[in-house]
Amino acid sequence: MSDVAARAGVSHQTVSRVLNGHPHVSATTRTRVLAAIAELGYRRNLSARVLATGRSNVVGVVAQNTTLYGPSSMVQAIGEAALSADLSLTVGHVAGYDATAASRRIVERLVQQGAAGLVFIAPVDAAGEAMRLVPDGVPIVTVDGLPEWQCANVSVDQYTGGLLATRHLLAAGHRTVWHVAGPEQWHGSRAREDGWRAALAEAGAIAPPMARAGWSAASGYQCGRMLARIPDCTAIFAANDHVALGIMRALAEQGRRIPDDVSIIGFDDVPEAGYFHPALTTIRQEFADIGRQALRLLLDQLATGVKSAESALVEPVLISRDTVKTPERIPA
């Protein structure tokens, strides 16, 4: 770093400010320092940085069910945000949060590796047990955690997502909306169900019996076979896009046309959603924003040395495509 400072004709502290993205450096000075860095081929010594600051540059992530689109997208978003902040990411994968030795080993390993802080992707109730394994003094941020856990948290407003989906179907002229919900132990599943019920109540619509699926297309297909046999079912709010895909297959097999006979909305906006046939109307979760907010909450705690219970809420977005329209036949 002193070689860079000498080449650029600035102080060691100015080089540090440029490397850390400090705003109070003139454009001319910043350009001169970056040119010196390029000429000399300077690379940061991260081990020396840890010794100098007393802080690791590693963020630990405890993630559940990363084969699912939501958790895997959150890990990717946090990783991209960490890279922008010049931090490394170590991910511990768990099949299901619990207080077993497996969860304990993952948390202990991340702490022993010197993680500066931990991000728990915590969409289920049992994640609270795993968080209790974290030693005092290690900052924590949860993604999709619960308010009663009293730690920093960032979540998509799943309740509003349920409202948006149901209101959109009602606005198209459907008298009510059937809901195929996700697993009950997932916070987001319960919040989406609450939003669905609230939208029906505000419209004075009767809530039909709710079906419950997993997060897979196969579980959606099984629910769809049942719904396809109900003539009054003209609008469906699915737990996620994969569940919607299974429902769409079941409806097609029973001769129920989408959207002429049945309208359907998913949740997530998976990359393939626009290529379903017909293209799926859905609720998008802004995962990149989740990643940025989670890192911000963690870095704030690292900067102040004080654990926080600040909460950040990311608004979902309705993506309108081709699976919703006014029903051709209004049930009596």
- And the tokens for 13? 């502290």
Dist. CA 314–CA 263, nearest whole Å: 27
Dist. CA 62–CA 73, nearest whole Å: 14
Residues 17 and 27 in one domain: yes
Residues 92 and 137 in one domain: yes
Closest to 144 measured CA to CA, from 297, 292, 314: 314
Number of domains in the chain: 3
CATH at 198: 3.40.50.2300
Whether residue 108 is contained in a domain is answered as: yes
Could you list the residue range(s) of the whole structural domain that residue 279 is in? Answer: 158-285
Residues 166 and 279 in one domain: yes
Q: Which long-range contacts (CB under 8 A, 24 or more apart) does 3-6 make?
A: 3/40, 3/42, 4/33, 4/36, 4/37, 4/40, 4/42
Pick the more confident residue, 49 or 229: 229
Residues 174 and 223 in one domain: yes
Residues 280 and 171 in one domain: yes
Residues 163 and 248 in one domain: yes
Pick the more confident residue, 256 or 326: 256
Sign for the CA dihedral angle at 164, 170, 171, 174 comes to positive
Whether residue 96 is contained in a domain is answered as: yes
Residues 270 and 198 in one domain: yes
Residues 162 and 92 in one domain: no
Residues 123 and 59 in one domain: yes
Query: Residue 136: what pLDDT?
Result: 83
5-14, 126-135, 234-243, 304-313 — most confident range? 234-243
pLDDT bracket for residue 22 (50, 70, 90): confident
pLDDT bracket for residue 126 (50, 70, 90): confident
Tens of pLDDT, residues 174-211: 999 999 999 998 999 999 999 999 999 999 999 999 99
The 10 Å Cβ neighbour count of residue 293 is: 25
- And the tokens for 204? 């004075």
CA distances from 74 to 83, 107, 119, 255, 304 (A): 14, 19, 11, 37, 25
Residues 170 and 267 in one domain: yes
Whether residue 331 is contained in a domain is answered as: no
Whether residue 332 is contained in a domain is answered as: no
Answer yes or no: is pLDDT of 221 > 80: yes
Query: Residue 108: what pLDDT?
Result: 84
- Model-level pTM? 0.81
